[in-house]
Structure 1
Amino acid sequence: MEDVLSLLQQSEWRIIDQSSLGPLFHPLQSFAMDDTLCESVGTGKSKAVARTWVHYDSIILGIQDIRLPHLEDGLSYLEEEGFRYIVRTSGGLAVFLDEGVLNITLIFPEKEKGIDINRGYEAMYRFVQLMFADLTDQIEAREIHGSYCPGSYDLSINGKKFAGISQRRVKKGVAVQIYLCVTGSGSKRAEVIRQFYEKALKNTETKFEYPKIRPEVMASLTELLGINLTIEQCMMRFLQVLQKISGGKFYSSQLTAEESNLYERYYTRVIERNEKWLPK
């Protein structure tokens, strides 16, 4: 645990809050932003970064999802239901984002020793435990079978998943990303992903095993804790934990001029990748 806490106890934290940019803020921008900040932190041009972000009615696909045998039918369903979709470069499978889901990215510099992948996951797990420590001590990290984008660091309470973690590494920068289902219905979100896979698979046998989603194993924190949590309240909890960890050494920031140029390159790259990966 000490090793995990030392990762969170950076000399300074730089905060970039994009949680209230609204529906015009596109998910492609987020993944370009994380890659930009990864490079900036990894090359020593920036302190560690904590970024918060929210996207409206978006399905974020993983690389394996673009190999679905009837992908176009699945994407048509998403379009009909009013969702936009992109393919992300970090690991995992399809996830659901909307205005009730808070995303957090913690970006660390990878020193000479390197950051073991599990250490990155443990750091985010610990961070979330601290965010809600006054409300519950029941947050677990284990794979929740039947959830979307399942993994060994699914975060759950009483067997119901409310968060998933992924990682991305760029030029000695390590981005650990989490989505937190704060409000709304976790099972309704899961039902959309279930239908997507149903239409994109059509019972076809595939080498890769896609998740068999059971919507009842997913929930929001509001549902699990029985209180009306908001994104804004979770933002306050996020800042309080960061203040406690850093001893108050954190500051709000935007991209520098150099980072803005870097961002344009990464943004162009994620657009080109999506154009290549997704059917015309």
Structure 2
Amino acid sequence: MNEFLTRKTWRYIDQSVSGIGRSPLESFAADDTLCHLIGAGLSPATVRTWVHSASVVMGIQDHRLPFVQAGMDLLEERGYHPIVRNSGGLAVVLDEGILNISIVVSEKDGHLDINAGYDMMVELVKALFPEIAERIEAYEIVGSYCPGSYDLSVDGKKFAGIAQRRIRGGIAVQIYLSVEGSGGARAELVRDFYERSLQQEPTKFDYPNVRPEVMASLSEIIGEPLSVPGVNARLQQFLYAHSEEMRMGPFVEDEMEQYTYYLTRVFERNKKLLLES
């Protein structure tokens, strides 16, 4: 087992239900807060789960699309709320069938370079899904939305993407797991967003040519109905098995000051970017 996944103490924050009606920006602020706290030695390493209702999180490059406002209007028409995150990467879909997991550790824990951070998350996913573990591969799935070298797939169908954020001595490795529903339908939404936002206008940046057939949910891949609560339960069982102590609960009063700071910052940044669209 990966050394970074076995710990004396894991902290676990479950926002897979409480966060559904909240903005995804609150999750980005939460992970930044955890990076700050854990980097400063004020909190143990933490796993946080989060789910949000229908949203499309755009990256900085998406914000620069020539007709991005038309693309965002399309998302609103389809019932999805567009937001912009202050980081790299490209558009991803969030909804109640997608479970997001953040693992936040300290840079002081040991040498965890970029690839090692990704490998840690890959090993966790394989542990959570032993029925397909040997079939899970990590490489870029061309035609997927938000493609990256650590896309997770089975038989060429992507079900997850991994990202990292490193600030204040903390490292947050984040993954979205398409658990329920249609991966292809989500991909169609992002494909249509790019088509509306580009309108065949040439750009310096190469945006993905999204092909819905290369994306699927874990339920579709495994051939059995999985649920977000069920996968979350698997994760909790894993953490109990790989720690001596698991601390559960949201931010406490002393931590809320930092959270409020990061929350204000991320909302102000998103508002500024949207006004520039």
Same fold (TM over 0.5): yes
Question: Which position in structure 1 is the counterpart of 2:120?
Answer: 123
What letter is aligned with 2:191? R
1:216-256 per-position Cα deviation (integer Å, ceiling 9, x unaligned): 1000000000001011110111112222222x421212102
Shift, 1:28, TM fit: 1.1
Question: Which position in structure 1 is the counterpart of 2:265?
Answer: 269
CA contact 2:49–2:100 (8 Å) conserved in 1: yes
Q: 3-state DSSP class of the match of 1:60?
A: strand
Q: 3-state DSSP class of the match of 2:181?
A: coil
Equivalent residues in 2 for 1:74-223, closer than 5 Å: 74-111=71-108, 114-223=111-220
Shift, 1:12, TM fit: 1.0
Aligned mates of 1:150, 1:85 — CA distance in 2: 19
Shift, 1:115, TM fit: 2.1
Shift, 1:22, TM fit: 5.5
Change (3 A) 1:22 1:177: closer
Aligned mates of 2:55, 2:197 — CA distance in 1: 17
CA contact 1:91–1:168 (8 Å) conserved in 2: no
Unaligned segments of structure 1, at least 5 residues:
none
Flag as ranges the 4+ runs of structure 1 deviating above 4 A.
Answer: none
Question: Which position in structure 2 is the counterpart of 1:257?
Answer: 253
Aligned mates of 1:138, 1:113 — CA distance in 2: 29
Question: Which position in structure 2 is the counterpart of 1:54?
Answer: 51
What letter is aligned with 2:257? N
CA contact 2:132–2:222 (8 Å) conserved in 1: yes
Shift, 1:9, TM fit: 1.8
Aligned mates of 1:166, 1:124 — CA distance in 2: 10
1:15-54 per-position Cα deviation (integer Å, ceiling 9, x unaligned): 0000012642211111111111110011100000100010
Aligned mates of 1:132, 1:216 — CA distance in 2: 22
Aligned mates of 1:241, 1:135 — CA distance in 2: 17
TM-score, structure 1 as length reference:
0.95
Task: Provide the aligned length of Structure 1 versus Structure 2.
Answer: 276
RMSD: 1.4
CA contact 2:86–2:270 (8 Å) conserved in 1: no
What letter is aligned with 2:259? Y
Shift, 1:197, TM fit: 0.5
Shift, 1:7, TM fit: 1.4
Pair 1:39 & 2:36 matched: yes
Aligned mates of 1:30, 1:122 — CA distance in 2: 23
Aligned mates of 1:244, 1:141 — CA distance in 2: 25
Q: 3-state DSSP class of the match of 2:269?
A: helix
Greater shift in the superposed pair: 169-178 or 16-25: 16-25
Aligned mates of 1:13, 1:192 — CA distance in 2: 37
Unaligned segments of structure 2, at least 5 residues:
none
What letter is aligned with 2:53? Y
TM-score, structure 2 as length reference:
0.96
Between the aligned residues of both structures, percent identity stands at 51
What letter is aligned with 1:42? G
